[in-house]
Structure 1
Amino acid sequence: MYQATTCSITVTVSPSYLEEESVPEDNHWFWAYTIEITNGSPDTVQLRSRYWHITDARGHVEEVNGAGVVGEEPILSPGDSFTYTSGCPLSTSSGIMRGHYRMETSDGGMITVEIPAFSLDVPNARRIMH
């Protein structure tokens, strides 16, 4: 589990390798990740957009920007949480994801909420250090 808090909004990430969706002989590995966003601030916020920076084991970077998450732009009142699950394919057996959400506050301002960097690793895989 990975966690970061920005402006009293906590993002918790739990990644998991999906062996049944992966085809290593075709250089295709797949992970799911579940994210819980908890609003510990005194203000209502709405998640407007996401940004992902995905790096595979070869150092190849893919950047993803988009509105909301999983087709939603959830509104979080103080104390509310929102949980969703999404996925990430890679052409290598490991990688790292990090990013941020842009959230609109009740007064119309925007804040950037960090998504903690998290590792995508095949369980029990042999690791080589360079």
Structure 2
Amino acid sequence: MSFTATEPAHYIATTRDITVVVKPVFLEEQSAPDSRHFVWAYHVRIENGGQETVQLVTRHWQITDANGHVHDVRGEGVIGQQPVLRPGESFEYASGTPLGTPFGVMVGTYQMRAENGEQFDVDIPAFSLDSPHHRVVVH
């Protein structure tokens, strides 16, 4: 799925000229609200706006459900890949997560490696996992 950063429901963070854009989508057809099973897909675009070539080495996600339970996810690369991004290049992928509550929040970091071997973290913006089975109340 391709998207631009100007559409609604996108979350954006930029670290060292690396921009991460996330678009979460609730998957009604894979969810079973009566069984407290809610599933989201999230589409990610990583853009290298800098002058150096970088490689995505690892990922770290913190997934928090509506009850405040946090699940840490760490691993190599994303979807089995450790993409290399030259200046001006981007990489897109989609993944997903289930929750036992009708809403939650995800946030994280990608560890990148520059050509000179320097490693640094790039922020993944915090984004909301909202289902139509949750009524938002603003006080």
Aligned to 1:110: 119
Mark the runs of 5 or more structure 1 residues left unpaired by the alignment: none
Aligned to 1:29: 38
Q: Deviations 1:2-51 (Å, cap 9, x if unpaired)?
A: 00000000000000000000001111000000000000010000000000
The structural deviation recorded for 1:126 is: 1.3
Q: Deviations 1:86-119 (Å, cap 9, x if unpaired)?
A: 0010000000000000000000010100000000
Work out the percentage of aligned pairs sharing the same amino acid: 52
Query: Does the Cα contact within 8 Å between 2:63 and 2:106 map onto a contact in 1?
Result: yes
The question of 1:71 aligning with 2:80 is answered yes
The structural deviation recorded for 1:123 is: 3.1
Q: Deviations 1:24-79 (Å, cap 9, x if unpaired)?
A: 11110000000000000100000000000110000011000000000000000000
TM-score scaled by length of structure 1: 0.97
Aligned to 2:50: 41
Which 4+ residue blocks in structure 1 deviate beyond 3 angstroms?
A: none
Mark the runs of 5 or more structure 2 residues left unpaired by the alignment: 1-9
TM-score scaled by length of structure 2: 0.90
2:29 is paired with a residue whose SS is: helix
Q: Name the CA distance, whole Å, in 2 between partners of 1:54 and 1:16.
A: 15
> How many aligned residue pairs are there?
130
RMSD value, Cα: 1.3
The question of 1:13 aligning with 2:22 is answered yes
The question of 1:82 aligning with 2:91 is answered yes
Q: Name the CA distance, whole Å, in 2 between partners of 1:91 and 1:31.
A: 12
